[in-house]
Amino acid sequence: MSIPYVGLFEVLILGYFTILNSFYAVAVYVATRELSRHIRRRQSVALSELLSREFYKPVSILVPAYGEEETIRASVDSFLALHYPEFEVIVINDGSQDSTLQVLKDAYDLEPVERNPSRVLKTRPVLGAYRSRRVPNLLVVDKENGGKADALNVGLTYATFPLFCAVDADSLLDAEALLRLARRFIENDRLLAAGGSVRIMNGSHMRDGRVSELRLPGTWVERVQIVEYARAFLAGRTTFSSLGLLLIISGAFGLFRRADVMEAGGFLDGTVGEDMELVLRLHRHMREQKRPYDVEFDMDPVCWTQCPDSFSLLRVQRDRWQRGLWEALWAHRKMWFNPRYGRIGVVALPYFLLFEALAPIIEVFSYAFVIVLALTGQLDLRFLALFLLVALLYGAVVSVTALSIELFMRVHFRRPVDRIALLLTALGENFGFRQWHAWVRFLAIFRLGRRRGQWGSMTRRKIRARGF
């Protein structure tokens, strides 16, 4: 059997992987320059100076929670201990079936309060609101189950401050994280939304709700996610932000102007990618109104989160992420290649469409194409060598470089064995894990529209003083 247009397919495949990995190579270079600037900038501005300024913007921290009985206490403690002049923490219990609400009641001595929201978005009914007798800036809202976006919208209606920070209930914030991210809104009046770095805390030692010592997790699947996060946040988002092309602010840690988000309609209910969809809608809203604005990423503030510790849980998470990506892009397909939306329409969205949304289709096809060529005796060894070079080895080198920068300039794993293990993980992820990941994302495309608006399922580990 002879496959037609073999040469054309070979050129297209090699060109695709060359462009993709070359972008990441350029991104690593840009990230290195930005990181150097951030280090100098951080050293030049003392934390005490930021705290003493009188023109800070108060922040409402929104913590949507569903089935978080194991982690909610430690997370809320970390939010309440943040170094910030004025903030409130609003936990929204989205009809949890476990004892999440009871844990909060016991831990913070909650009592029912009457509090009318300042402005109502369409949400599922609220069952009750509770104020802590001991912590005056903590509010807990109990509501019927409606999904994460619905819970965030309830939090928006109860929030009272001009900025709101959306965080995950299984995450911890560095004590200075909110202060450093909110500083961006003081320095830039056009800033609409900003996101910080998200790092994985699996395996690390904890003390008083803080990551006291970074330790490598025990399983390979957890380690490979550390590599992924380093590459995505250090290289990818830093570069997109510096070029004014940022489309994603992580749902685990993002800061927004509340009035503009309310004006745009809040979070979209019924989607599994509410974080990216909101940022896209804000881009669209502001450009259609011809209002100047910025959306930025700051690598300095850090949020610590748990990651899946098994391939089965990781498969569920990545399935949701891929479906969320497609849903967000499709909801705003009007912006694709549309000059009316500037660089977002003609650069950012085409990139995400071709190199993110369609990537698993192209990758699965490429691997299948190579296998078919081999089985039919048409595999050119020169093509195979180039394919391995540009698709796998090139990607591995970029991953190792990005991780090396992260390890030696920002993240401090004290034990040399941890650093070596991570570098070996970065080298090896392209051989096996990448192909599995592409297949999971490929299958997710056939499940678009299913289980819309539902919470992700992941077994939480209780955060302990000596690690978890």
Q: Are 84 and 112 in contact (CB under 8 A)?
A: no
Query: SS3 of 275, please?
Result: helix
Q: In a structure prediction context, what are the per-residue pLDDT tens digits for the chain, which is 468 residues long?
A: 566 778 889 999 999 999 988 888 888 888 788 777 766 665 555 555 555 555 678 999 999 999 999 889 988 998 998 888 899 999 999 999 999 999 999 999 999 998 777 667 889 999 999 999 999 999 999 999 999 999 999 999 999 999 999 998 888 888 888 988 998 898 899 999 999 989 898 988 877 667 778 888 989 999 999 989 888 887 788 889 989 999 999 988 999 999 999 999 999 988 888 999 999 999 999 999 999 999 999 988 889 888 999 999 999 999 999 999 999 999 999 999 999 999 999 999 999 999 999 999 999 999 999 999 999 888 989 999 999 998 888 888 888 887 877 776 666 777 888 888 988 998 889 889 999 999 999 999 998 876 554 565 555 555 443 333
Q: Are 232 and 248 in contact (CB under 8 A)?
A: no
Cα angle: 89, vertex 136, 97; to 5 degrees? 50
Cα angle: 408, vertex 411, 412; to 5 degrees? 80
Q: Considering the domain 53-352 in this protein, what is its CATH number?
A: 3.90.550.10
Q: Tokens 């977002």 identify what position?
A: 344
For residue 432, count other CB atoms closer than 10 A to its CB: 11
Show me where the domains of the chain are located: 6-19+355-447, 53-352
- Give the tens place of pLDDT for each residue, 402-455: 787 777 666 677 788 888 898 899 888 988 999 999 999 999 999 887 655 456
**Reported pTM:** 0.89
